[in-house]
Amino acid sequence: MIRAIFSQSAARRITDVLGSFAAQRSTNLAFLDQMVVSGANFLAGILLARGLGLYEFGRFALAWMLIEFAGSLQFAAIIQPMLNIGPKQEEADSLDYYNAVVVQQGLTCLALGSLAGIAVTAAGWIFSDPQLYELAIPLFLATVAYQLHNFLRRHFFLRDRGFAALCNDALRFATQIAAIAMLAALSDHPTAVSGIWIIAFACAVSTLQGACFFGCPRPKRSVLREVWGRHWQFSKWLLPSALMFWTTSQAFVLMSGFVLGPAVTGAVKVALSMTGLLNILLLALDNFAPAQAARAWHAGGRPQLRRYMLRLGCLTGVLIFATVGILNIDPAYFVRLLFGHQYESTAYLVHWFSAPAAVYGISTVLIIWTAAMEKTRPIFLSYAMATAFTLIAAYPMTRYGGLAGVAFGSLLVESIRVIVLWMPLRHEAICSVERPRVEVPETSGSDVRSIR
């Protein structure tokens, strides 16, 4: 009798868990989409490296860093506010809100694209390098198209249209990979300019397809002022944070090149590429977790947000440490499999750079928690403290510590950010004062209790 009751209880529990997982369509699509994006990016990078050669691929990588830098400013000014403010809009007001955000996005990407083109043109004039002039126009178009594509895919996930986002990403990367594969056949000596043109074309194709699903925006002037003002209040700390994040994430790697030589930087890049597999998880969180955390805060205040973040933190922690554990069982095998025998000697660096990657995952969860309450000052302070440490310690730690100093410095940077982020959240975690509950109508969107 007891065995039968236990069997029924266990079967019911397993059924509930499987049913809950199957019900989370948006979450599953977010992870699937991020796997597609990360895998396609990795494949495209390999094809470009083989097709362009070392020198031209280096020029492409530098140009792509400029596009990604502009993308980080876009994320701070447009996307992150939208992910946290958008879910709090009433259904009757949401259309006006998103129309206002589209206008803001269009103006922002045009401004950033123009700055990128002007910067490359100025560099070409200063260094008397005609090849830099050739990058100006494709870099402008690639910056604009890349940002519009990124905005649309985030918007689709926010509006619980994960399948539309998946189709949009699949179209972009199918176009991009096919064009890169044809590059060697169409040109005997492909250049970095060709690679940037391919990015611009692929993102433009996916943007046109995504715009068909979005529709024609009809913004209201009064709503524009209100939305832009609220976005500024949200992002005024995040924009300098984006600048400082770029500094802290690149300083030790760049310093290894200046102090220890470019070959060492290549070895570090291999290790970072391996531990970068964690980005599949962490970038997937950005597709659904900020919106769900914002809904939890809006619907139930501190208690409901705290419960959601506990579930999210446990899930993220398990996945991060499982991934790190697998990578560290035999890193030489994975390096040899992906990069070839010539890079096998760098496998030990995977052990060293796994710790900073895991700590970075913790800071990602803490940022989602802080942003859900629209308290972005701690995010700014965490980057400020980490930037101050980086500026002081990057050179001596690299000069006297070598690769060990680079890895340990990266770990300290991420640890500083986690400590600074956790200090104000510690009060939120134990605070017993509840925010008044706001009754919200049931919607067809993602349930804030989707992560169990």
DSSP string, 35-90: HHHHHHHHHHHHHHHHHHHHHHHHHHHHHHHHHHHHHHHHIIIIIHHHHHHGGGS-
Tokens (6 digits) for 61: 């990588």
Among the residue ranges 3-7, 26-30, 65-69, 310-314, the one predicted with the least confidence is 3-7
More confident residue, 241 or 361: 361
What's the average model confidence in pLDDT over 173-182?
91
> Between 233 and 411, whose confidence is greater?
411
Higher local confidence (pLDDT), 419 or 29: 419
- pLDDT band at residue 266 using 50, 70 and 90 as cut-offs: low
**Can you give the pLDDT at residue 5?**
43
Q: What is the pLDDT of residue 447?
A: 45
Q: Greatest CA span in the chain, whole angstroms?
A: 87
Specify whether the CB–CB gap between 294 and 88 falls below 8 A. yes
Q: Provide the residue type at 401 as one letter.
A: G
Average pLDDT, the chain: 79
pLDDT at residue 451 tops 70: no
pLDDT at residue 141 is higher than 90: yes
What pLDDT, in 10s, does the model give residues 297-351? Answer: 878 777 888 888 888 888 888 888 888 888 888 888 887 777 667 667 778 888 8
Give 283-286's long-range contacts (Cβ < 8 A, gap of 24+): 283/34, 283/37, 283/38, 284/30, 284/31, 284/33, 284/34, 284/35, 285/312, 285/316, 285/364, 285/365, 285/368, 286/83, 286/154
At 450 the pLDDT is 40
Q: What is the pLDDT of residue 149?
A: 93
The confidence score (pLDDT) of residue 205 equals 94
* pLDDT of residue 210 exceeding 80: yes
Over range 172-177, report the average pLDDT. Answer: 93
Please state, in angstroms and rounded to a whole number, the distance separating the CA atoms of residues 77 and 297: 21
State pLDDT tens for residues 351-388.
898 899 889 888 888 888 888 887 778 888 888 899 99
- Confidence check: pLDDT of 246 > 60: yes
Share of the chain above pLDDT 90, in %: 13
pLDDT band at 203 (very low <50, low <70, confident <90, very high): very high
pLDDT of residue 175: 94
What integer pLDDT is reported at residue 202 of this predicted model? 94
- The count of other CB atoms within 10 Å of the CB of residue 16 is 11
Q: Is residue 384 within 8 Å of residue 328, measured between CB atoms? A: no
Q: How far is Cα 345 from Cα 60, in angstroms, rounded to an integer? A: 26
Burial class (CB in 10 A: 0-12, 13-18, 19+), 1: exposed
User: Between the CA of residue 382 and those of 5, 248, 389, 447, 452, what are the distances in Å?
Assistant: 52, 11, 11, 30, 29
Token digits of residue 152: 């649309």
Query: Could you give the CA distance from residue 333 to residue 378 in angstroms, rounded to a whole number?
Result: 40
Separation of alpha carbons 252 and 235, rounded Å: 27
pLDDT band at 35 (very low <50, low <70, confident <90, very high): confident
Look at residue 126 in the predicted model and tell me its pLDDT. Answer: 77
What's the CA gap between 155 and 159, in Å, rounded?
Answer: 6
SS3 label, residue 420: helix
Amino acid at site 452: R
Confidence bin at 85 (pLDDT 50/70/90): confident
Q: Which residue has the higher pLDDT, 261 or 39?
A: 39
344: how many CB neighbours lie within 10 A of its CB?
A: 15
| 151-184 per-residue burial string, b: 16 or more CB within 10 A, e: under 16 | bbbbbbbbbbbbebbbbbbebbbebbbebbeebe
Q: Which tops the pLDDT comparison, 372 or 435? A: 372
pLDDT of 444 reads 45
Percent of the chain, pLDDT > 70? 82
Please give the backbone phi and psi of residue 218, each rounded to the nearest 5 degrees, phi first.
-130, 80
> Is residue 437 very low, low, confident or very high in pLDDT (cuts 50, 70, 90)?
very low
pLDDT at 289: 82
User: Half-sphere exposure (CA, 13 Å, Cβ side) for 435?
Assistant: 15
Does pLDDT of 26 surpass 70?
A: no
Residue 140's identity, in one-letter code, is F
Q: Give the confidence band of 122 by pLDDT, cuts at 50, 70, 90.
A: confident
Across 108-136, average pLDDT: 83
What mean pLDDT do residues 253-277 have? 72
More confident residue, 259 or 394: 394
Return the pLDDT at 416. 93
Does 146 score more than 90 pLDDT?
yes
Mean local confidence (pLDDT), 399-421: 90
